[in-house]
Amino acid sequence: MRIAVLLKDRCKPKNCTYECIKYCPRVRAGDETITKGEDTKPVISEELCVGCGICIHKCPFEAIKIISLAEALDTDLVHQFGKNGFRLFRLPLPRDGSCTGMLGPNGIGKTTAIKILSGQIIPNLGEFKKKGSWEKVLKYYAGTELYDHFRQVSNKEIISIVKPQYVDRLPKVTKGKIKDILKNADTSNSFDKVIEILGLQNVLDKEIQKSEISGGELQLISIAAVLLKDAELYFFDEPSSYLDIYQRLKVARIIKKLSEKKKVIVIEHDLAILDFLCDQVHLVYGDEGTYGVVTPPRGVRHAINIYLSGYLKEENIRFGEKIEFFAQAPKQRQQMNILVTYDNLSKKYTDFTLDVEQGIIRQSEIVGIVGPNAIGKTTFVKMLAGVIKPTSGKVEHDIKVSYKPQYISPDFNGTVRMFFEKFVPNLFISSFYKGEIFEPMNLKYLLDKDVTTLSGGELQRVATANCLAQEADIYLIDEPSAYLDSEQRMITSRIVRHVIEKTGKSAMVVDHDVYFIDMISDALIVFDGIPGKKGRARGPFSLHEGMNKFLKDVDITFRRDEDTHRPRVNKPGSYIDRKQRNEGEYYYSL
């Protein structure tokens, strides 16, 4: 499908003769009543236009651009689930000695592609009424790079290991002590080494079905089980979920080292980790639950920039919304009114102590909160929200607080529509909330779903919308990017920022996605200490000072991409990495 886009910054309606509409047989006016001097909204006749771009009757100001919208392909169908089921077009290609990434929204076939490449699914090549056959697959891919791969898979000449996406399901399918589970998985005789580098010594004697096993520990256990296998091809499906930034970088370094000797494919939504980890990336676009198209591989920088632009230039296809990063001057916090002050706070538990240095939260600012897991970030947020009381110290405020917890329990019996009508009817009544929250989050597609049946990402969007639509002075939002794909994370960060800027309220946001924190924050609170034993909170600092302290602890440096202005992790040991470390500037400057 092709459309003509009116570029208003180029259009000169007062001087335009409308030749594109009057004479071209392939273009018709979207509104037949338009008159000279008004903005036009031309559209392309799908039956006639081939998008050749050579018409002699065209706008002299180049104000009309013909682009193709994303749609299912006519060829390259790899697999189809039923008559009206999901269709996957094309596949990524595993490569020796490099890490290949896959980047795209949820629900468009990335995990399906992994299952096909690993041999869990035999592709039916669109013949959904018949069972897939390796003989047909090999004949279809004869003469291509994927032929050798499928030949080895069909003959069981290659061992491939998959790290599953949903690690929270492991306790339902696995029983026993974690030590026994991992030792049974060890075919490479590297048990002690893997346990040490992933820091799993303290969980080995625990039962995997016990409730005290956190999501982060389950993720590391799952990654350990994969690393202990001796295989030729490794698949990691969202390895950063539940992990803090320290753990994400540790895992990324391990996977990157593994990819130097083995074939590795990674699905990842944290763009900073994907940029740091992968050599090349396959973009995947399509329609959730309907179809997915895998594009040819591109260099990681180029691929992420294309993903953020939402436009495939070579194919002239618009597949998503453009996401922009802006290099803007930081807010002058001293000139902003004070909203909340808190003394030196302390919270003591039997095995854990949190100390928080005195701080000030100001009006109309968003404070990011960063640090390792199990260091007290959620405890601090709960103290500010009044959910728990500090052991010592006092929070000085008389304000209304809206709090979105880290772990969301879908215990509401009813549909999403009923949930919103009960708790935040403003989402339906207020034009502001509809325009800034309801519509950008695409919540209308969830209204008739039962809350208890929502996926993790859907539940996250509902909970974040519920928090932001409350009447409050400050919004405390704990891990809003969890379960969201890359595009949804960027959209959520923009929604939070718009709501805070336009209402003049304040927000505190805990998250582990550095892109998300960078886009959303005006200031930063930095946590450090010993996870599970002792935590300390410092700040709020200015964004630059806080990120500099945080990135120094994490031991990485950041720069801005020249084209998109997005943050990029510098390659360890590169010239710019060494230069910034020598200058003490771990975070890019404006």
Which residue, among 342, 357, 351, 355, has the nearest Cα to 391 in the 3D structure? 355
List the CATH number of the domain containing 198: 3.40.50.300
Q: Give residue for tokens 């959910």.
A: 387
Indicate the residue among 517, 541, 565 that finishes a domain: 541
Round to whole Å and give the CA distance between 85 and 63: 39
Greater confidence (203 vs 31) lies with 203
Tens-digit pLDDT profile for residues 317-366: 888 878 777 665 556 655 678 888 888 899 998 889 999 999 888 888 99
Round to whole Å and give the CA distance between 223 and 233: 14
Q: How confident is the model at residue 280 (pLDDT cuts 50, 70, 90)?
A: very high
Round to whole Å and give the CA distance between 22 and 34: 12
Question: Residues 485, 105: contact at Cβ < 8 Å?
Answer: yes
Q: How confident is the model at residue 212 (pLDDT cuts 50, 70, 90)?
A: low
Instruction: For residues 218 and 286, state if they share a domain.
Output: yes
374 SS3 class: coil
**Pairing outcome for strands 160-163 and 291-294:** unpaired
Instruction: For residues 201 and 91, state if they share a domain.
Output: yes
Distances (CA, A) of 240 to 170, 218, 236, 255, 269: 16, 11, 10, 11, 8
Side by side, which strands form the sheet with 359-362?
359-362, 338-342, 395-396
Instruction: For residues 466 and 527, state if they share a domain.
Output: yes
CB-based burial label for 518 (10 Å; 0-12, 13-18, 19+): buried
Beta strands in 46-197 (DSSP E): 64-69, 77-80, 87-89, 99-103, 160-163
Instruction: For residues 378 and 465, state if they share a domain.
Output: yes
Residue 65 has pLDDT above 70, yes or no: no
Q: What is the domain count for the chain?
A: 3
Report the 10 Å Cβ neighbour count for 369: 26
Asked if residue 567 is part of any domain, the answer here is no
Instruction: For residues 96 and 48, state if they share a domain.
Output: no
Instruction: For residues 408 and 446, state if they share a domain.
Output: yes
To which H or E segment does residue 318 belong? strand 317-318
Greater confidence (196 vs 13) lies with 196
One-character DSSP codes across 480-529? TTTT--HHHHHHHHHHHHHHHHHHT-EEEEE-S-HHHHHHH-SEEEEEEE
Residues in contact with 516: Cβ distance below 8 Å, sequence separation at least 6, in sequence order: 480, 481, 489, 490, 492, 493
Residues 81-97 have a mean pLDDT of 91
Instruction: For residues 367 and 436, state if they share a domain.
Output: yes
Highest-confidence range of 167-176, 377-386, 495-504, by mean pLDDT? 495-504
Asked if residue 584 is part of any domain, the answer here is no
Residue type, 391: T
Asked if residue 561 is part of any domain, the answer here is no
Instruction: For residues 265 and 377, state if they share a domain.
Output: no
Q: How confident is the model at residue 419 (pLDDT cuts 50, 70, 90)?
A: very high
Instruction: For residues 87 and 49, state if they share a domain.
Output: no
Partners of 368 in the β-ladder: 509, 524
Asked if residue 553 is part of any domain, the answer here is no
Instruction: For residues 365 and 511, state if they share a domain.
Output: yes
Instruction: For residues 89 and 209, state if they share a domain.
Output: yes
Residue ranges making up the domain that contains 55:
1-69
Question: Average per-residue pLDDT in the chain?
Answer: 83
Indicate the residue among 41, 69, 97 that finishes a domain: 69
